[in-house]
Amino acid sequence: MSHPLEITNLVKRFGGLVATNDLSFHVEQGQSVGLIGPNGAGKTTVFAQIMGEHRQTSGTIKLYGKDIGNKTTPERIRLGVSRTYQVPRPFSDMTVLENIRVGQMSSSIWKMITTRPNHEREEEIAHSVGFAEADLHKTPGELSMGDLRKLEMARTIATGTSVMLLDEVFAGLTVAEIAQIATLIQKMRSDGMTFLIVSHDLKALEPLVDSLVAINYGSKIAEGSFAEVMGNASVRESYLGVV
Ligand SMILES: Nc1ncnc2c1ncn2[C@@H]1O[C@H](COP(=O)(O)OP(=O)(O)OP(=O)(O)O)[C@@H](O)[C@H]1O
Ligand SMILES: [Mg+2]
């Protein structure tokens, strides 16, 4: 049976730097996998290749069994994968609802030109991630970091994605905001969403994932349950700084 996401022997070189080194792993239907590793390990570069923002040097990326490695980003979004960014990237002169609308239409320029805005759907998505009525017409400059992360997630939901890639969703958040985002992820998991989650906040990540993949210098150094990976000697040495 094909998996929602399957990466095989992925390699990405930036000049002499090997940012992804023969990396293979998969995410099963409805599962949530954490992708961890020290700064510069290559986590974001994996996301960028899955989305087609960077073309892989070699290897394959499959979505539901279909090779997407040569498809455009909008095509990949249309096939059901979408990501959030480590540093939120909203359109700064658009409101919360307008930003969500762009997410809804991001799978095709044609859709953007021809589709009439679905205000009800936008509001539904905004409320589902926890925006209050009063926030809907705010611009990103008026939002807290927690709200900006919610907006990132809302834009991803709006694409209609079934595989969600979350890059450092907890970075820069207060304890209360982390709890809100975690609750949101749990709810989406119970609704059947498949996740690949990058986070340095292991405490927040632990209850959200079925398994972990740990990478360093672009290579996989461990894979398994949270406890197994945390107990792995290479992970402890390279990532946690303890032997
Ligand atoms: N566009 C690029 N051109 C050249 N090198 C790049 C590019 N993007 C990333 N790199 C390099 O690839 C390596 C992996 O970077 P990446 O951003 O994927 O790491 P990361 O694991 O996401 O790190 P962090 O935890 O700091 O977000 C780093 O050495 C980085 O400098
Ligand atoms: Mg990163």
Distance separating alpha carbons of residues 221 and 201, to the nearest angstrom: 19
pLDDT of residue 115: 67
Amino acid at 16: G
Per-residue pLDDT for 37 more than 90? yes
Tokens encoding 59: 């290897």
**pLDDT tens-digit readout, 186-229:** 999 999 999 999 999 999 999 999 999 999 999 999 999 999 99
Taking a C-beta distance cutoff of 8 angstroms, is the pair 59, 7 a contact? yes
Distance separating alpha carbons of residues 62 and 26, to the nearest angstrom: 9
Nearest residue by C-alpha to atom 4 in ligand 1: 14
* Total domains present in the chain: 1
Res. 106 pLDDT band, cuts 50 70 90 = confident
Neighbours of 231 (CB within 10 A): 12
Distance separating alpha carbons of residues 178 and 175, to the nearest angstrom: 5
Nearest residue by C-alpha to atom 7 in ligand 1: 14
Residues lining ligand 1, Cβ inside 6 A: 14, 17, 19, 37, 39-45, 86
**Residue 23 β-bridge partners:** 10
Distance separating alpha carbons of residues 226 and 232, to the nearest angstrom: 10
How do strand 17-27 and strand 5-14 relate by DSSP bridges?
Answer: antiparallel
Inside any domain, residue 139: no
Contacts with 38 (C-beta within 8 Å, 6 or more apart), sequence order? 216, 238, 239
Inside any domain, residue 12: yes
Inside any domain, residue 123: no
**pLDDT tens-digit readout, 48-81:** 999 999 999 999 999 999 999 999 999 999 999 9
- Token pair 């958040």 is found at 173
Domain around 199: 5-92+162-238
Taking a C-beta distance cutoff of 8 angstroms, is the pair 229, 239 a contact? no
17: CATH: 3.40.50.300
Per-residue pLDDT for 25 more than 70? yes
Could you tell me the distance, in angstroms and rounded to a whole number, from the CA of residue 19 to the centre of ligand 1?
A: 7
Inside any domain, residue 157: no
Helices within the chain (DSSP H only): 43-51, 73-79, 96-105, 109-114, 119-128, 145-158, 175-190, 202-205, 226-231, 233-238
pTM of the model: 0.94
